[in-house]
Amino acid sequence: MFNSRSSLSVVFLVLFLFFSTISATPVPISKGHAPVKAPSKAPPKSSPKSAPKSSPKHCPSHLVRRNNNVFIGYNGFSGTARPPQASAGGELGAVFYIADAVDLAKVFAHGADSSKDTICLVYADANAWHNQPKVWVPANAPRGNAMNSRYPGAVLFDDHTSAGLPAGSVHSVHQMGIRQAQISRLGVTIQCYPKSCFATDHHTMNYPSLKHTWAIQDGR
């Protein structure tokens, strides 16, 4: 049995070990929040940019070539763009009118709103065009819708007055008429541009010079 002194020694030893263990045990330290940085200054607001201006409409630098197509003339109008279509009437009747000279097309591309004045390049399928009957209407033939019965199924060619042509124009202009039913069969398509693209252009195909190439027959 331990005596009192020994007992006290043991007690002190136990207490010493107890407090030594407590002091040696790491105490978890609560993690503090990272220091909050002062908000950076917002970048200076730039002045609002104006909307980009639309590019000017493309103008052809030359006659656009198309594979398996033949260029057959110009069509001029003023107004909303539309596919090739026959007019209600005219010298050659109810046909889609095409000019051999760009200056003649300009005469018909003249409206109250010049921004809608349009010149179109007209094309046809090369094979269909080669096989299409064509007639040059004589000066003494009746004009108007009588053409439908006089020259059935033919594309019509005729002289046109030079009255009203712009300054610097060619002196002789001509026209062609394609009936509504022939437009799709001949694969007629158009590529249109603002009239202003042709301001200094006076190109002409000169239909009379193409009589042999296009097999245009003289009408009776």
pLDDT in tens, 30-86: 444 455 555 555 555 544 443 333 334 578 766 666 778 999 999 999 988 889 999
Alpha-carbon gap, residue 117 to 195, rounded angstroms: 5
Q: Are 178 and 155 in contact (CB under 8 A)?
A: yes
pLDDT of residue 46: 45
Alpha-carbon gap, residue 6 to 205, rounded angstroms: 134
pTM: 0.70
pLDDT of residue 170: 76
What order do you get walking across the sheet with 95-99 strand by strand? 189-194, 117-125, 69-78, 95-99, 173-179, 155-160, 134-136, 216-218
R_g (Cα) of the chain, nearest Å: 45
Alpha-carbon gap, residue 51 to 53, rounded angstroms: 6
Rounded to whole angstroms, what are the CA distances from 85 to 17, 76, 136, 183, 217?
110, 12, 21, 8, 24
- Higher-confidence residue of 193 and 26: namely 193
Least confident of 45-49, 137-141, 172-176: 45-49
pLDDT at 166 over 50: yes
What average pLDDT is seen over the chain?
A: 80
pLDDT of residue 15: 52
Q: How many CB atoms lie within 10 A of CB 150?
A: 16
The arithmetic mean of pLDDT across residues 134-139, rounded, is 94
The DSSP element (H or E) to which 19 belongs, if any, is helix 4-24
The arithmetic mean of pLDDT across residues 133-155, rounded, is 90
Backbone phi, then psi, for 26, in 5-degree steps? -65, 135
| Polymer length in residues for the chain | 220
